[in-house]
């Protein structure tokens, strides 16, 4: 039986130990653990990497601590626009959605796009119509409301300013919530998959779409190389085609997963003033979790017994 692995992230940024109370820290680590266990259970039962990353991402989307699904931030109009993507590495099949409203689990809609449409990427009202046609679970606006997110939006709603999720409203904020979410996995058959989901930026305008749902930028999987889910300032990850660049460095330059991720996160992204990180696995069960910011909510579990959940550098 081949080594199997699942890793998850809940966002990267200016995450400092002194900014989280012990209780908040415990809640974040518990949220990561629950996502890891949901995905790992699929893998131990011989399930597919695709199903494992979706299971893990759903848990994170349902956790109000993270900026995806239930915990999504408010946009310029005071609503929630969500993006997600999923990809499997055996046949390079992928599905993605952007600017969707009222979808409980955008990652499930991305999966339906991959499995039940001839397309890869759907957006806005058309994606929502597709969701209804395929019985994807939807929720009223009230489901996505959190007081912290609302206060975060009120602080900037009358301006053209936007907040990256790890931006603070004020220096004394003790309960900051960070978090695009994602998962990567390799199963017992050596197949890889990646999933990423986000609520985007607070006060975002003009239907802005970041890297998370863009195949090759924030999400990518290929059995020959790796599966990657990224988190950070999306514009720079888009310009760097960050997730696919890791794969290219492995395929064309013969780099290991750790080496390739290191080049992208610690060299190419900083050259564009890009802050954030990524998680990755390869078909041999190796993993890496690299970030150039102060912290990244992250965790991993492998069939060889290794497990970790961490926040700080």
The set of catalytic residues is 180
Report helix angle 49-61 to 106-116, nearest 10.
150
CA distances 221 to 14, 76, 127, 283, Å, are: 28, 33, 23, 10
CA distances 126 to 83, 98, 123, 140, 228, Å, are: 14, 10, 6, 18, 27
Burial of 137 from C-beta contacts in 10 A (0-12 / 13-18 / 19+) = exposed
Label the pairing between strands 307-312 and 295-302.
Answer: antiparallel
């Amino acid at each position: 039986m081949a080594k199997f692995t699942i890793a998850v992230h809940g966002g990267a940024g200016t995450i400092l130990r002194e900014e989280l109370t012990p209780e908040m820290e415990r809640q974040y680590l518990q949220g990561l653990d629950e996502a890891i266990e949901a995905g790992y259970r699929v893998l131990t039962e011989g399930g597919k990497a695709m199903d494992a990353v979706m299971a893990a991402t759903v848990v994170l989307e349902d956790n109000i601590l993270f900026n995806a699904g239930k915990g999504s931030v408010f946009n310029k109009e005071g609503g929630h626009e969500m993006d997600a993507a999923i990809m499997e590495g055996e046949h390079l099949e992928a599905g993605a959605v952007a600017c969707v409203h009222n979808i409980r689990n955008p990652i499930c809609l991305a999966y339906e796009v991959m499995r039940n449409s001839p397309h890869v990427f759907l957006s806005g009202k058309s994606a929502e119509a597709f969701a209804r046609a395929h019985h994807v679970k939807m929720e009223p606006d009230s489901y996505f409301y959190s007081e912290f997110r609302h206060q975060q939006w009120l602080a900037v709603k009358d301006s053209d300013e936007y907040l990256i999720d790890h931006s603070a409203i004020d220096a004394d904020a003790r309960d900051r919530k960070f978090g695009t979410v994602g998962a990567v996995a390799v199963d017992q058959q050596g197949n890889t998959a990646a999933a990423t989901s986000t609520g985007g930026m607070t006060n975002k305008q003009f239907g802005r779409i970041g890297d998370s749902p863009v195949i090759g930028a924030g999400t990518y999987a290929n059995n020959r190389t790796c599966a990657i889910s990224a988190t950070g300032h999306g514009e720079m990850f888009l310009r760097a085609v960050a997730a696919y660049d890791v794969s290219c460095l492995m395929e064309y330059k013969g780099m290991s997963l750790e080496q390739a991720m290191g080049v992208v996160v610690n060299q190419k992204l900083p050259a564009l003033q890009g802050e954030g990180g990524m998680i990755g696995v390869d078909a041999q069960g190796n993993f890496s979790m690299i970030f150039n910011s102060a912290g990244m909510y992250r965790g991993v579990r492998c069939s060889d017994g290794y497990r970790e959940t961490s926040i700080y550098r």
